[in-house]
Amino acid sequence: MADIIVSKFGGSSVANAGQIQKVRRIVEEDSRRRIVVVSAPGRSKSSEQKITDHLFNIATDGMHFRDQRLSIPVADSKLAVIERFTEILQQLDISGEGIIEALKQDLDCKLRGDRRVAFLASRGEHYNARIIAEYFQASGMEAEVGLPEDFGLLVSEQFLNASLLQEAYGNMQQLGGEKITVVPGFYGVTKSGEVAVFSRGGSDLTGGEIARGVHAASYENWTDVSGVFEADPRLVPEARAIPRLTFKEIRLLSSKGFNVFHLNAMLPCKERKIPIHIRNTNAPEEGGTVILFERVPEEGVVGVARLDSVAYIYLEKDMLGEEIGFTADLLGILREFGIQTYHFPTDKDDIAVLVNQDDLTGAINDLRRRIEQQLKPDFMDVVYNLSILTAVGLGLQGNSYPIVDALSALGKAHIPIEMIDQSPSQICFHIGVQQTVADDALKILYRALIG
């Protein structure tokens, strides 16, 4: 199936009838687009809640929105879901015979616990795929819906964080034949036929796994941005879309704030060396960004990412670097407390661990006591409200000049530097600054390293 393109369309790309019509035109433009993976409808206007959030609210008896301090009853969420799909059907001018009635029955399901949450959370993708397949057919396209429960997208029984089973790859071979197959993302079925979902954003995972399973020529990820930009265009308007990146580069950028799509969705494509093409549904004429297994480095730095809400825990202890197991014990404590870690540069007598600051809320007092009791540091400090700016590029290997340029530019602008660290691969380096000066620091680094 090397001539097949798997095209995944995110929530913004299928949010309403107008967007779905754009999807149809895109699919029609290239006969190789034989498998179309779709998300649940995203927001059609900024004041709305996402359909998937309404479904989680229904599944949790209103707790989902209460946790966000929103007062949206379950009945209102049910109505919002039904009205959105009814509106899409009407605007696409298709009958959708039986679809709305089936949806209403599903929203009243009697399942309990994780099974209930998984089933209801998947209904946005399920019904959107059915509607889009019917719309394609009504438009004269040879198309069909490919539901996970029908073709056997088998997953584990971790109902809210499922993983694909090996047998599923063989079952995928029936997709992408003479007809275009529209597949709902985000969920699969267990061997006993129960619905289980991937982690949030799992439609990307569905697309990546199917691309791997059918040995696709490429995997397209259609969204509402024209690729991966050199920096946040909201802060750096002159930032451009990066034409080509390697899997390593995009993972480094994504882990530091470039939230284009699910990180783990790249792994199946990387394994098969399948290119990923990030494109804009609203501007399909633009080239977007192609993610490749390998590329020729033509520049030092391709992008500068930014990660906010970072803190670092600093420990000082004589001969810390020679104490076997000290770093492992520290990271083990952080894991027990559920603290996400980013980097942990060390020296002879000290170590600093960069962590997600939000994870420290409500835990820092007990965490400090535990570290001091178990590891007995001579000194411990926690620095809050940092932003980590990460410059990434294959051209950084063996090339220290961009680091010199970055530090010089920040120094001239009198931007205080809290930390600096270079990755072992030498294709990125990290500079920590206070969040209050992060906007200025990002602009300065962009202009010094790229612009």
C-alpha distance from residue 213 to each of 147, 164, 200, 266 (Å): 16, 11, 21, 13
- 227-278 per-position pLDDT tens digit: 999 999 999 999 999 999 999 898 888 776 666 667 778 889 999 999 999 9
pLDDT value for 349: 93
pLDDT value for 257: 62
pLDDT value for 322: 86
Distance between the two ends of the chain, CA-based, in angstroms? 41
CB 390 within 8 A of CB 291: no
Domains of the chain (ranges, CATH numbers): 5-224 (3.40.1160.10), 303-449 (3.30.2130.10)
Q: CA geometry: angle at 130 spanning 162 and 203, to 5°?
A: 30
pLDDT value for 127: 98
Instruction: Kindly give the parts of the chain with pLDDT less than 50.
Output: none
Beta bridge partners of 35: 6, 181
What is this structure's pTM? 0.88
Mean pLDDT in the chain?
A: 93
Cα separation of 204 and 18, whole Å?
Answer: 22
pLDDT value for 81: 97
Cα separation of 30 and 25, whole Å?
Answer: 9
Tell me, letter by letter, the H, E, C secondary structure of 20-32: HHHHHHHHHHCCC
pLDDT value for 276: 95
